[in-house]
């Protein structure tokens, strides 16, 4: 991992629709020391989704990059590949990864000092409403809700902090406090 030891790797994980992308967007907008890694995926771009939300690639391109050792971690999530390219943050910046729980486990194995923030919805009902509100098709919503039942016990077990994303602004503030605290701890070490 080409990240220097004095910087943080912040992993934001949690089930689909919990609000990870929304939270991370606000975190990086408010903290210029954070550098957001852009993942690769083979899934299709959602309607209205930004063109650079991901590097959208074919399965062949993704598999070629696996063979080339180009990913820090990657996984197959509900039939599509998702992966974090080897991070190369600007000097002194802390890296943020917004990934699902299998990837979070892989990152923790490679770098045990990575800070894992695991986000939970206030309820399954609210998660469902958020997925629907985002425009996910009913079949996708069901798959993501079922997947969440598998992901949550693992995420809770490996997380450094578990955060319930009820009020968005409170969640972002809480994460900023945690990141500030963890930075101080690392300087003190």
| Nearest in space to 119 (alpha carbons), one of 6, 27, 53 | 27
130 binds, among ligand ADP, ligand 5GP, none (CB under 5 to 8 A by kind): ligand ADP
Read off the tokens for 21. 């992308």
Q: How far apart are CA 51 and CA 133, in angstroms?
A: 20
Interatomic CA distance for residues 174 and 48, integer angstroms: 29
- Which of residues 16, 89, 103, 155 is near ligand ADP by CB under 6 A? 16
Q: Which does 22 bind (CB under 5 to 8 A by kind): ligand ADP, ligand 5GP, none?
A: ligand ADP
Mark the segment that binds ligand 5GP (CB under 6 A) among 74-82, 87-95, 120-128, 177-185.
Answer: 74-82
Q: Which residue is nearest to ligand 5GP (CB)?
A: 103
Q: Quote the least distance from Cβ 18 to ligand ADP, whole Å.
A: 4
Contact 124, 152 (CB under 8 A): no
The distance of closest approach from Cβ of residue 184 to ligand 5GP in the complex, given in angstroms and rounded to an integer, is: 28
Distance (Å, whole) CA 180 – CA 183: 5
Smallest separation (angstroms) from ligand 5GP to the CB of 174 = 19
Of residues 144-183, which lie at the interface with ligand ADP (CB under 6 A)? 165, 167-168
Per CB under 6 A, 100 contacts ligand 5GP:
yes
31-52: buried (b, 16+ CB within 10 Å) or exposed (e) per residue? beebbbbebbbbeeeeeeeeee
């Amino acid at each position: 991992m080409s990240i220097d030891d004095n910087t943080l790797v912040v992993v934001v994980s949690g089930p689909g629709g919990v609000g990870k992308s929304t939270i991370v967007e606000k975190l990086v907008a408010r903290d210029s020391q954070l550098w957001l890694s852009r993942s690769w995926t083979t899934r299709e771009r959602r309607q209205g989704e930004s063109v650079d939300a991901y590097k959208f690639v074919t399965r062949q391109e993704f598999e070629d990059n696996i063979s080339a050792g180009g990913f820090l971690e990657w996984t197959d999530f509900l039939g599509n590949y998702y992966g974090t390219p080897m991070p190369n943050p600007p000097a002194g910046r802390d890296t943020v990864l917004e990934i699902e729980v299998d990837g979070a486990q892989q990152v923790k194995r490679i770098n045990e000092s990575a800070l894992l923030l695991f986000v939970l919805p206030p309820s399954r009902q609210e998660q469902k409403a958020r997925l629907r509100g985002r425009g996910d098709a009913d079949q996708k919503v069901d798959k993501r809700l079922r997947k969440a039942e598998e992901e949550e016990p693992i995420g809770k077990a490996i997380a450094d902090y578990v955060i319930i994303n009820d009020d968005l602004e409170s969640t972002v503030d809480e994460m900023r406090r945690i990141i500030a605290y963890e930075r101080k701890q690392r300087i003190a070490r």
